[in-house]
Amino acid sequence: MKDRYGRTIDYMRISVTDRCNLRCRYCMPDGIESLPMSEILTLEEICTIAECASALGIHKIKVTGGEPLVRLNCTYLVCRLKAIPGIEKVTITTNGVLLDQYLEELIDAGIDGINISLDTRDRKRFQEITGSDCLPEVMGILKRASDIPVPLKVNAVSLDLGRENWKGLVELAREYPVDVRFIEMMPIGCGRQFPAMNPQELLAEMTEEYPGIAKDPRIHGFGPAVYYQIPGFQGSIGFISAIHGKFCDGCNRVRLTSQGFLKTCLCYEDGSDLRAIIRSGGTEADRKTRLTEVMRDTIFRKPAAHCFEQPGQITETHRMVSIGG
């Protein structure tokens, strides 16, 4: 559907849990309590909301979290979402630690793409960032990339990336058939305490290192990443620059939090509590009608743009781990 600014909204990120097996310092550092399961949407509730979303023109879904693969029956959910008429693509974003265990089930479920979040190839640094010594598990998946029949992308939230660090990540796209994307840190939750790297500066440094780097005009997904190719590399290098390269004019997405709140912009708490509707009285048909009406109205009112460049105006107080990134 179109929002009030004429943007086509066809993409929903669904956070299926607020729990995670890592403790990334910019997202879910130690000491953060998880919500009781009764506050988290059930898989059935998620599917009902996805059906209403599909009726409103949402065709692409990203399963996220917390860590989606710690949610029991996450792969079954992918299968159910794929079966909803009108849903064309279901992809997942994961820290990759449990991917070896669930890869086959995800592929059988029909997953259309897998994003792996990885900020460094240095084992000690990985442990410092995530609180866990799980880099070998994540690298194990990347080493198998050429045998994995769905597109893989690596997402790095470029904290204080030094040359050695970003170069190690860029080289993944030479060694394996994966796109590597650098995502600008957003001032949400614990991310506020970290500097946002300027992607233009990073690109300039990369150009010194790889003089043949050139814009890649191909479309790689349904997000705002801008891609570059380096001669001889199997994958492309992408930049998602929410702050330095504001892309709100073309924003196509809404977010469903693990508690069932339909969120229309990362920056603000604006949105609607769908869980309250789905758990209210009446027949299932009544609830679906109400859900669809509220979702239509909420999406229509999506704000024009984020205000990350004016931090005083940010109203979002939740952490990224509960929003889903």
- Residues within the interface to ligand SF4 (CB under 6 A): 20, 22-24, 27-28, 65-67, 95, 117, 321
State the distance between the two ends of the chain, measured CA to CA, in whole angstroms.
Answer: 22
Q: Which of 316, 320, 317, 319 is nearest to 117 (CA)?
A: 320
**3-class SS shares of the chain: helix, strand, coil, % to 5:** 35, 15, 45
**Minimum CB separation from ligand SAM for residue 283, in Å?**
35
Site for ligand SAM, residues 272 to 311, rule: CB under 6 A: none
Region near ligand SAM per CB under 6 A, out of 62-70, 104-112, 170-178, 278-286: 62-70
Q: How many CA atoms lie within 13 A of 172 on its CB side?
A: 33
154 touching ligand SAM, by CB under 6 A: no
Q: Which of 92, 238, 55, 217 is nearest to 158 (CA)?
A: 238
DSSP letter for each residue of 76-114: HHHHHHHTSTT--EEEEEE-STTHHHHHHHHHHHT--EE
Among 9, 12, 27, 77, binds ligand SAM (CB under 6 A): 27
Cβ count within 10 A of residue 44: 11
Nearer to ligand SAM, 43 or 55 (CB): 43
**Minimum CB separation from ligand SF4 for residue 23, in Å?**
6
179 touching ligand SAM, by CB under 6 A: no
94 touching ligand SAM, by CB under 6 A: yes
180 touching ligand SAM, by CB under 6 A: no
324 touching ligand SAM, by CB under 6 A: yes
Alpha carbon of 298 to those of 176, 223, 261, 273, 294: distances in Å? Answer: 41, 21, 11, 10, 6
Residue 324 interacting entry, from ligand SAM, ligand SF4, none, C-beta within 5 to 8 Å by type: ligand SAM
316 touching ligand SAM, by CB under 6 A: no
Nearer to ligand SF4, 185 or 230 (CB): 185
Q: Which of 135, 221, 127 is nearest to 178 (CA)?
A: 221
Q: Residue numbers of the site for ligand SAM (CB under 6 A)?
A: 20, 26-27, 64-65, 67, 93-95, 117, 155, 157, 183, 185-186, 188, 191, 320-321, 324-325
